[in-house]
Amino acid sequence: MEKARRKAALADYRERKVEPGVYALRCGASGEVWVGRAPDLSTVRNRVFFTLRQGSNPHRTLQAAWNTHGAEGIAFEVLEVLDPEELGLGLDREMKSRHEAWMERLGAVRI
């Protein structure tokens, strides 16, 4: 029974739709904003928050804001989801372009 359930969970994971795009982390107390891009938005939040909890995030200002204000002080927000089928081989180039545009628009720091 356990083996069948694991097999079903693995099949569900493989069939999930990957959504590449641009995201932001905002510190409500300080007003700071960090913008990043990811090939799969569904997994990036956990990855970033894990590194912050461990104190090992490579972005010093983000880690400092986390250390000062805690998890409640940092909000994760999806800014834009890109369609990989529509963009095809131009996906990476478009993600870079949209990342830059969002950083400029929000006056944010690059992640």
Element (H, E) at 72: none
pLDDT of residue 88: 79
Domain boundaries, the chain: 17-110
Q: Is 38 exposed, middle or buried (0-12, 13-18, 19+ CB in 10 A)?
A: buried
- CA 24 to mean position of chain CA atoms: 7
pLDDT tens column, 11-58: 776 777 789 999 999 999 999 999 999 999 999 999 999 999 999 999
* Share above pLDDT 90 across residues of the chain, in percent, rounded to a whole number: 74
Closest by Cα among 14, 111, 6, 4 to 66: 111
CATH number of 17-110: 3.40.1440.10
Q: Are 94 and 57 in contact (CB under 8 A)?
A: no
